[in-house]
Chain A
């Protein structure tokens, strides 16, 4: 954890800066002038009530939504992210809360969706993709065996591991995880925690949305709390207790001790 902290203290350029982001749907201000940032090798937790605007905020970063106002910088450079392809081009990978899998396709097709491996003739190379898929799934979830079935035949946890594999496979530098453990059992949740530590050690920056305050305390370096579309505050995990985080979420106020 200290690595990212030192990096931050040394005044290095953040991996991602989202500045003064706003978006509204109809009359609802889903995200209201929110700023967050992320450093290499850092895990930043995003917390808040249901409907606080967490998913909407990260969907702006992943190109699913377009912000009304604000700016995004990657490695200090201002970038335009108008669709998911742009986000991928900046090595931003996302595990969506809804998983975003095509149920009628198998694990390998989902893993490579939009980035298929092709033969020299330009045709999709299913065998090669399945072989790669078997490799990465074996690393993430050794019990996974259903390679030739459509993902609709998989359990919630198995689907989750396909979604995680898709984000991890393509050398993400910035990883967005929207409740990645929502469908997982205790053992699988532990595996995701280990995975996050591994990725962090490789210098990947992670935005982690999670309702479990204990998990955030354990995995994250900093936490940003949102309420009703607004940012309550960003705190260093080392400076707060889980009760402080809870009161930020519930009351929408920063505890007196915290300093970001």
Chain B
């Protein structure tokens, strides 16, 4: 036990380009796979895949699964599984459909398209989703019934509760304001989208700068300045590029005319208006940011990963792992309800089969995104990228004209192959 006040920090030895950038190799691999996929489909479809229109559609189709996938990361990281998310989405969607088309307008006499309808509906939906999730989490955490069984049961129960609530009928049209959360009916327009893009860029760069300052403040090694600059450029370029693409997708002239006429205006000759950022995508981005902060910077997130890595150690460290399980499933339920808002608003109605097979898509997205079923590892951005890859694969194949059975065969194969590649990668890395 020698007494010294300062300790040497190892000098930065020669390190590879990627290490200097401190980029996650798995993330790079996924982005690489995604880029190859996009370029491949673009060639096969004679350039129809990478059009602003298709990218816009792809994005809004991904949102619902991606939102749930962020929650599934926490569930799987703690060595659990949730097979009920698609059914839970259906129940939340059914409840919200009934609330906004029957209970609020008729029974409470608020009439059609009352300005409070959408918000009351969403509050009810989120509360129902959270409560059901918490209940399932309580059975897993406190009654110690395996999550597989609880949520397999939940899968049957909630799918059919949804059916019962709606008599199996499609309910629509939904509240006009509610539809804003669906996609095409709710976009920010070009100017606002640029504003959001610029604010997001500034915030992201500020966060980058802050973390560098914090590390320097404690005398920890930091990346070389050029590497930091490259990262900053990549971040700014991606955000602003994404906004530019969505802005470039123009509202079809006829639709625009109808929209203006609805507001009592006439359409000037030659007017072009871009869609810009859909509200649903903003919800996904907000979810991603919040969930990433929760995962990395909150005690709750830290306990989730600790419990996934070693449940006994977590318990012995004084973490209430049972309550943690309840919270994780409650959060999952909340996100299912949020996805239900987006999914039903996109379809403009509640249909009996909404969310069917979503549990598999959500689990696949999380797993393709690098979440380990053995627990302890997973990232939010990985899960979202996983959802995007799955959706691109599916709609790309549809555009190319691949027969429906083959589409699913390919998706299934990709899922298994992705996990296998991940296992090989982890072994190379020497991680357990």
Select A100's contact among B1, B217, B220, B317, beta carbons within 8 Å: B317
- A98 to B311 CA separation, bound complex (whole angstroms): 13
In the assembled complex, which residues on chain A have CB atoms less than 8 Å from the CB atom of B3?
139
Annotate B301-331 by CB proximity to A: 1 below 8 A, 0 otherwise: 0110111111011111111100000000000
* Among A94, A99, A103, A191, residue most surrounded by chain B Cβ atoms (within 10 Å): A103
Nearest residue in A to B211 (C-beta to C-beta)?
A127
Q: Are A124 and B298 in contact (CB under 8 A)?
A: yes
Assign chain A's interface to a size class. 35 or more
State whether the Cβ of A109 lies closer than 8 Å to any Cβ in chain B. yes
**CB within 8 Å of B: which of A122-154?**
122-124, 126-128, 130-131, 134-135, 138-140, 142, 145, 150, 152-153
Interface check A84, CB cutoff 8 A? yes
Which residues of A lie under 8 Å from residue B306 when comparing CB positions? 102, 104-105, 109, 113
Q: Please, which residues of chain A bring their CB within 8 A of the CB of B376?
A: 102-104
A124 in contact with B299 (CB, 8 Å) = yes
Total A-B pairs in contact (CB under 8 Å)? 103
Chain B contacts for A94, CB-based, 8 A: 316
Q: How far apart are the CA atoms of A142 and B293 in the complex, in Å?
A: 33
List the B side residues contacting A116 at CB < 8 Å: 299, 302
Query: B431 on the interface (CB 8 Å rule)?
Result: yes
Indicate whether B215 reaches chain A with its CB closer than 8 angstroms.
Answer: yes
- Complexed CA–CA distance, A194 and B1 (Å): 8
Bound complex: CA of A85 vs CA of B306, how far in Å?
16
Contact A127 B215 (CB under 8 A): yes
Q: When the two chains form the complex, which single residue of B10, B293, B307, B430 contacts A153, counting CB atoms closer than 8 Å? A: B430
Task: Mark out the residues of chain A between 83 and 107 whose CB falls within 8 Å of any chain B CB in the assembled complex.
Answer: 83-85, 88, 94, 96, 98-105
Q: By the criterion of a CB under 8 Å from any partner CB, how many residues of chain B are at the interface?
A: 38
A127 CB contact (under 8 Å) in B220, B312, B316: B220
Q: Are B316 and A96 in contact (CB under 8 A)?
A: yes
What distance in Å separates the Cβ of B25 from its nearest Cβ neighbour in chain A? 15
Contact of B310 among A102, A114, A122 (CB under 8 A): A102
Q: How far is the CA of A130 from the CA of B299 in the complex (A)?
A: 16
A217 on the interface (CB 8 Å rule)? no
**B 1-45 contacts with A by CB, 8 A:** 1-4, 7, 10
Using A84-B318, A88-B318, A104-B376 as known contacts, say yes or no to A195 and B312 having CB atoms under 8 A apart: no
Any chain A CB within 8 A of the CB of B428? no
Q: Is B299 a contact partner of A102 (Cβ separation < 8 A)?
A: no
Q: Is B214 an interface residue (CB 8 A)?
A: yes
Q: Residues 183-223 of chain A: 1 if any B CB is under 8 Å from the residue's CB, otherwise 0?
A: 00000000100110010000000000000000000000000
Decide if B427 is an interface residue (CB 8 Å cutoff).
Answer: no
Q: Contacts A102-B309, A113-B306 known; A142 to B7 CB distance under 8 Å? A: yes
Q: How far is the CB of B332 from chain A (nearest CB, A)?
A: 21
**A64 at interface, CB cutoff 8 A:** yes
Given known A102-B314, A138-B4, contact A152–B299 (CB-CB < 8 A): no
| Interface check A24, CB cutoff 8 A | no
Given contacts A113-B317, A191-B1, contact A103 B309 (CB under 8 A): yes
Chain B 265-299 interface 0/1 with A at a Cβ cutoff of 8 Å (1 = within): 00000000000000000000000000001000111
Q: Nearest A residue to B312 by beta-carbon distance?
A: A100
Residues of A within 8 A of B314 (CB): 102, 113
At the interface, yes or no: A118 with Cβ under 8 Å from chain B? Answer: yes
Most buried by A among B1, B2, B219: B1
**Distance between Cα atoms of A66 and B65 in the complex (Å):** 43
Closest residue of B by beta carbon distance from A131: B218
The answer, yes or no, to whether A181 is at the interface (CB within 8 Å) is no
Contacts of A103 in B (CB 8 A): 309-310, 376, 432
Q: Which residues of B contact A118 (CB under 8 A)?
A: 299
The chain A residue with its CB closest to the CB of B215 is: A127
Known: A123-B297, A131-B218. 5 other contacts (CB 8 A): A84-B318, A102-B306, A102-B314, A194-B1, A195-B1
16 A-B contacts (beta carbon < 8 Å)? A84-B316, A96-B316, A99-B313, A100-B313, A101-B310, A102-B309, A104-B306, A124-B298, A124-B299, A127-B215, A131-B218, A139-B1, A142-B2, A142-B4, A145-B10, A152-B432
Q: Which 8 A-B pairs have the closest CB atoms?
A: A104-B309, A102-B309, A104-B376, A114-B317, A85-B318, A100-B313, A123-B297, A102-B306
